[in-house]
Structure 1
Amino acid sequence: MLSARCLTLSALMMVGVGLTSGHAEDAANTTFKEFPSSIVKLPPPSGPSVAAEPLSNALQKQLLEVHFTLETGDLTALQDKVVRGEKVSSEEFAKSFSSDPEASQKLADYLSGKGWTIVNVSNSTGSLFASAPVSVVAKTLDTKMINVVDDMGQKTVSAVTPPKLPIDVGMQVIAIDGLQPGMRAVRHIVRQGFDIPGPSNAAAADAPIPSPSHSEQSSYKVADILNAYNGTGLPVTGHGQTIAILIDTFPSKSDLAKFWKANKVNQDLSRVSFIDVQKLGTHLPDKSAEETLDVEWASGVAPDAKIQVYAAGSLHYVALDLALNKILSETIQGRGPEILSISLGLREDLVSVDELKTESSLFLKLAALGVTTFVSSGDAGSNPDETGHGHGDVTKVEYEASDPSVVAVGGTTLHMRADGAVDDESGWLNSGGGISGTHKRPAWQKAYAGLPNTTLRLVPDVSADADPSPGGYVVLNGKSVAYGGTSWSAPIWAGIAARLNEDLVKQGKQTGFMAPRLYAVSDTAAFRQINSGENGAYKAGPGWDPVTGLGVPNIGELIRLYSQTP
C-alpha cells in the first residue's frame, strides 16, 4: 500500500544503473555480514526499454538517512513478561534490554570514518541513525542503488541488492533500514464524500478542503460518539494520563481551540506538547487533516489527558523509527506517554522483513514499559492495493496494525437517531482486517475461543465508528469539515484508554499494556458485538471477526469490568 506520490511497485521503471562499488579494496581479506531482509525485492523493469545511465550527480549527492538496529537482549523473555501482565522498570530495562555500547560505538566509528554523519545513537533502544550521500551509502554498504520512477514521474533512489557490513562491525546489527525511501506509510483517513474502492481516489484524504456543506456540519461530534458508546457523564476524563500522537507534522493551535469550543470540551493548549523529532531548523510539512483529526479527537474523548504530538517530519520509515525511538527513550526516562495513537499503515508485504522486525521490537519494548499503542487497521478492507485507498486482488493486512504488541482498531458504520440513540451499527466496508502473513498470534488472542484456527496474528482487535458518512467533526484551516477512516476510530480508542487508566490509578492498581485485559472482558457487557457488515473477504459476526474484532466499546461497562480483571 503506497500513496500516489510514493513508489508504486506496479509502475516501476528502472532507468539507471546502480552504484556498485564498495569495499573492493579490502574485499579479499574481509568477511562481510549481508542483510538480505533489509530491502523489498523490486519487480523487473516494466514498459519500454530505457538506455542504462548512471544516477545523476544530484541523486548521488542526495542525503539518505539510514537506521541500524542492534541486538538488545532476550526479547522472548520480554514478551513473556508482557503476556504475564508484568511491567519492566526503567532500571531493569537498562540492565537487560539495551544494546552493547561497544558494538554501537564500533559501528559509529566505522561509519564516521567512511564520511557518514551520526544523527542519533541510543543504546537503551538499540538504534543508531546516520546519514550520508547516496554514493557514500552505496559504497559503504556495498549495495547497488538505482533510480526508479513512480506513476507520477517522481524519481527515487532505491537499493536493489542487500546491504553488507564487515563482520566485526556488523556482528550485533540485526537490520539496516531506509535504503528504499520510496516505501513509506500511508494515512488512514477518508474525507466525507469520497467512495473508497478504486485507485482514482487514492489522494482523497489530502484533497483541497471545500467550504463546509450541510452534511459536513451534521457530522458526529464528541458528545455523539460518547453517547453512542455509553461514555456520557462518567467520573473519569483521562486525568493524569498522557496520549502520544505519532505523525509527520503539527496541527494548527487555532484549529484545536475552535474544535474544543465547538464540542464544549474543557481542554486547552497548556495540556498539549509539540515535539519536533527532526533536527532543529528542518521544515515540517504543512498541516493536513490527519494530525488534526488525531489530536482533536484524542483530546476530545479524554479532555483532561495531556497530549504529546511527535512530528516525524515525513512518513518514511526511518523518520517514523526515529520518532518511535524518542518516544521509547522518554518512556524509559519516566516522561513518556501511557498511550500512543498511530493512524498510519502500509500493506504488510510491502514492508521489508527487517523493518517489521525493527518496529516490532520497539512496540514490544513500549508494551513492556506499560504503553498501549493503538493503530488504525486500514481503509481499504481486506484487500488493500498499493495506494492504500483502493481494493486489490489479494487479502492482506496492514502494518503497523498487524504487530502483536499493539491494539489494532477497525471501523464500523454507525447510524444514530435524532434523539442520539444508536439506530444501527455494522462493520464498515473498508475496515482493514484479516490474518497476518508475518506475525504470530499473541497469547491473549489464543485464549479467546471465538478466533479462527490459525497461529498467525488476527486484525483488528477492537473497533469504533470510521465511516466518513456522516463522519467525525473536524476543524481544519478554520473550517468545519467531516472525516472518517480508521484514522478516526484509533484516536477515539486512545481517549477511551486514558479514561480506563485513570480509573485504575484511582483504585490504586497498576496500568499497563491493555490488550490482554481487553480480551479478558470480550464476552461481557464491556463490548457490543457487531453482527452485520463485511470488508470484502470477511463478514462481521458473533465473537471476534476480521472486520470489527471484539466489537465496539460500552465505555461505562468497560471501565467497570476492566478494573476487575487481574
Structure 2
Amino acid sequence: MQAPQNRTIVRGSERTALPQARAVRPIAPDEPLEVTVRLRPQGAPADLSPSAFADQAPAARTYLTRTELAAQMGAAPQDVAAVTAFAAAHGLAVVRADAAQCYVVLAGPAGALSTAFGTELHQYESPAGRYRGRTGPLTVPKALGDIVAGVFGLDDRPQARAHFQVRGPAAGAVVARVAGPSFTPPALAKLYNFPAGLDGHGQCIGLIELGGGFRPDDLTAYFTRLKLPVPAVATVGVDGGSNQPTTAQGADGEVMLDIEVAAAVAPGARLVVYFAPNTTQGFLDAVTAAVHDQVNQPTVISISWGGPENTWTTGALDQFNQAFQAAALLGITVCCAAGDNGSGDGVADGQPHADFPASSPFALACGGTRLTAAGAKIGSEVVWNAGPGSATGGGISAHFPVPAYQKTLKLPIAAQAKAAQPGRGLPDVAGNADPASGYEVRVDGQDLVIGGTSAVAPLWAGLVALFNQKLAKPAGFLNPLLYGSLAGRGLLHDITSGTNGAYAARAGWDACTGWGSPNGAALLGALAAAPPTKPA
C-alpha cells in the first residue's frame, strides 16, 4: 500500500484482523480514545546490538544511570514539539509527554485520531472476543516520518497470554497426564543450589502483569505457612491498569504465581507489580515504565506474558526490543517466559513459531523442564512436554537475526521450516515448568499447583536478585556471558532428553531448554570472578 500524497507509512504498523474475525460496525467517531505515539531516540549509542555488551564479568561493566539513559536515548525536545503541533492541528490533546521514555500520549475522539493516522476503526467479533481494530498501515505527515517510531492504542485486541497452567480439574485448567510430587519455591531453590546466606536484600524485582490481581490475605497465609516474611508488594498502574483480583482460573493465577515464586526465593527483595491492560499499548507502556522507574528502580524484570511473533506488528517487536536494550544499558536483567505451547506456540499452521517477548535478543528467555527429586538432589530433569498445548516453547526467531553471542552456535532449523533464515535462538535457560511437577501456590483462597514457563521467569528473576545482592554491580544482560565465558563449565544442569515438538534436546545449548536449569551457587561464583582469558 502506498501512502497518500504528503504522508508516509509508519514503519512496521501494518495490522491484519484476528483469524475468523469480522468487522461488525465502525467505531463511533465521537468515542474518546488515547494513543501512545513512540518517538525515535535522539542520540542513541553507536552500537545498540547485543555485540555492544561484552563477555565481561558484571564488575567490569559500566552501566548508565536512568538520568544518563534519558540524556543519551531520550526523545529530542524538537521531536516532542513536532508531535505536539501535529496533535493540535488535528484537534487532539497531549495527555502527557515523557522524553525519557520516548513517547507522547494523545487523546481525542476516534474520528479525529483515525484521520490523524490515516486509518479506519471498526468493532470486530472473533472467537477470541470483541475488540476495536484496524487493518493495514498507519500514516503520518512526511515531516514526522523519521520522528514517529510507532503508534499504539488504536487497536485494543488482547495481545498476550499468560504462560501458566493449573494442575487438576479446575475450570479451564490443564490436567496433567501423570501428576508427580509438587514443590514449594524454596524447595526448588535448594534443588537448584541457589546461593545460601542471600535473600535479595537491597534489590527490587519488577513484575509485568496484564490483568488480574492479588489479595494480601493470600500472601499472608502463604508466606506464614512457608515461615518466610510476608512481602510488601507495591503496585504501579499503567494506562488505567490496577490490582483487580477476580478468580483463581483467571489472570490472578499468573499474578500470584509471579509474586509467590519471586518473593519465596528472594524474600528480602522488594516487589513492584506494574499492572496494565492486555493490549500492545498497555504491555509496552508497562515495560518502559518499569525500565525507567526512578522511584522503585528495579534491577530485575520478570515477564510471564507473551504470544507468537506473527501476532505482533514488526513495529511493536522493535519497540519492545529497544526497551530491553535500554534495560541492558542500565544493568537490568529481563526474564521472559518462553511459552507453554511447544514449538508451534499455539499457532495452528503446522509451522514452528517463537514466542515474543522472549525472542528478543535482549531477553533472558526461560524455557521449561519436568523435574523429579531424589532426596535433596535432582533425580531427573527432561524437557517439559506433556502433549499438545502443554510443552515448553522455544525455537528460532523469524524477526530477529542471530545475535553476536550466538554466532558460534549451530542453530537448528525445524523440519517444517527448511527455508527459514537463521534467527535468534531461544530459550537461553530453563527451569521446572511442567504442571505435573509444579509449584505449590495460593490463589484466591485456594491452594493450587501451577506450572508453565510463567513460573520459570520469576524463579530466575529471584535468583538474579540474589546475584545482585552479592555482586559489586548488577548481573545485568547475562546472555553474552552465558554463550561466552560461562558456557561449557558445568554451571547449569544440561538437559539432554526430550523434545518440544520440532526441536530436540541435546548436549549443550538447544531450542527446548537453552543451556539448562540453574546451578545457582556455581553461577554466582563464576559471575563474581573475571572470565578466563580466551586463547588468541
Q: Which amino acid aligns with 2:515?
A: L
Determine whether 1:149 maps to 2:119: no
Shift of residue 451, structure 1, vs aligned partner? 4.6
Question: For residues 491-510 of structure 1, what are the structure 2 equivalents within 5 Å?
Answer: 491-505=458-472, 509=473
For residues 271 and 19 of structure 2, what CA distance do their matches in structure 1 show? 45
| CA contact 2:306–2:339 (8 Å) conserved in 1 | yes
Question: For residues 23-62 of structure 1, what are the structure 2 equivalents within 5 Å?
Answer: 31-35=6-10, 37-42=12-17, 54-55=25-26, 57=28, 60-62=29-31
Structure 1 match to 2:34? 65
CA shift in 2, pair 1:421/1:157, >3 Å: same
Q: Which amino acid aligns with 2:350?
A: D
The one-character-per-residue Cα deviations of 1:514-538 (angstroms, maximum 9, x if unpaired) are 2222333131121110110110011
Determine whether 1:134 maps to 2:110: yes
Structure 2 match to 1:269? 231
Structure 2 match to 1:337? 298
Aligned with 2:142 (options 167, 187, 190):
167
Shift of residue 305, structure 1, vs aligned partner? 1.0
Gaps of 5+ in 1: 1-22, 196-200, 208-214
For residues 114 and 283 of structure 1, what CA distance do their matches in structure 2 show? 35
Structure 2 match to 1:238? 200
For residues 11 and 39 of structure 2, what CA distance do their matches in structure 1 show? 16
Gaps of 5+ in 2: 56-60, 386-390, 414-420, 532-536
Q: Which amino acid aligns with 1:421?
A: K
For residues 493 and 394 of structure 2, what CA distance do their matches in structure 1 show? 18
Structure 2 match to 1:226? 189
For residues 521 and 451 of structure 1, what CA distance do their matches in structure 2 show? 19
For residues 66 and 82 of structure 1, what CA distance do their matches in structure 2 show? 33
Aligned with 1:461 (options 415, 420, 428):
428
Question: For residues 480-559 of structure 1, what are the structure 2 equivalents within 5 Å?
Answer: 480-505=447-472, 509=473, 511-519=475-483, 520-559=485-524
For residues 243 and 183 of structure 2, what CA distance do their matches in structure 1 show? 34
For residues 187 and 488 of structure 2, what CA distance do their matches in structure 1 show? 25
Determine whether 1:412 maps to 2:369: yes
Shift of residue 410, structure 1, vs aligned partner? 0.2
Shift of residue 285, structure 1, vs aligned partner? 6.1
Structure 2 match to 1:181? 156
For residues 526 and 149 of structure 1, what CA distance do their matches in structure 2 show? 49
For residues 158 and 76 of structure 1, what CA distance do their matches in structure 2 show? 37
Instruction: Tell me the matched-pair count.
Output: 501
Shift of residue 504, structure 1, vs aligned partner? 0.8
Q: Percent identity?
A: 27
Shift of residue 117, structure 1, vs aligned partner? 3.6
Determine whether 1:252 maps to 2:215: yes
The one-character-per-residue Cα deviations of 1:132-160 (angstroms, maximum 9, x if unpaired) are 333222122121223321116x4322111
Structure 1 match to 2:353? 396
The one-character-per-residue Cα deviations of 1:372-410 (angstroms, maximum 9, x if unpaired) are 100000000101224xxxx65110001000001110000
Q: Which amino acid aligns with 1:34?
A: I
The one-character-per-residue Cα deviations of 1:451-481 (angstroms, maximum 9, x if unpaired) are 5597521010000000001310111112211
Partner SS for 1:346: strand
Aligned with 1:317 (options 280, 283, 296):
280
| CA contact 1:384–1:392 (8 Å) conserved in 2 | no
Shift of residue 434, structure 1, vs aligned partner? 0.4
| CA contact 1:517–1:565 (8 Å) conserved in 2 | no
TM-score, normalization by structure 2? 0.86
Structure 2 match to 1:428? 384
Structure 2 match to 1:7? none
The one-character-per-residue Cα deviations of 1:315-359 (angstroms, maximum 9, x if unpaired) are 1110112212211222xx474111000001110011000011111
Shift of residue 119, structure 1, vs aligned partner? 3.3
Partner SS for 1:438: coil
Partner SS for 1:402: coil
Shift of residue 43, structure 1, vs aligned partner? 7.7
CA shift in 2, pair 1:45/1:247, >3 Å: closer
Partner SS for 2:26: coil
For residues 147 and 228 of structure 1, what CA distance do their matches in structure 2 show? 50
Structure 1 match to 2:416? none
For residues 45 and 192 of structure 1, what CA distance do their matches in structure 2 show? 31
The one-character-per-residue Cα deviations of 1:39-68 (angstroms, maximum 9, x if unpaired) are 32348978xxx9x975264xx444433221
Q: Which amino acid aligns with 1:55?
A: P
CA shift in 2, pair 1:470/1:543, >3 Å: closer
Shift of residue 122, structure 1, vs aligned partner? 1.3
For residues 412 and 323 of structure 2, what CA distance do their matches in structure 1 show? 28
The one-character-per-residue Cα deviations of 1:286-321 (angstroms, maximum 9, x if unpaired) are 361001100110011111111111111x21110112
Shift of residue 247, structure 1, vs aligned partner? 0.5
Partner SS for 1:498: helix
RMSD between superposed Cα atoms in Å: 2.8
Structure 1 match to 2:446? 479
CA shift in 2, pair 1:76/1:64, >3 Å: farther
| CA contact 1:275–1:311 (8 Å) conserved in 2 | yes
Determine whether 1:98 maps to 2:99: no
CA shift in 2, pair 1:66/1:284, >3 Å: farther
CA shift in 2, pair 1:54/1:303, >3 Å: closer
For residues 191 and 455 of structure 1, what CA distance do their matches in structure 2 show? 34
532-541 or 391-400, which deviates more? 391-400
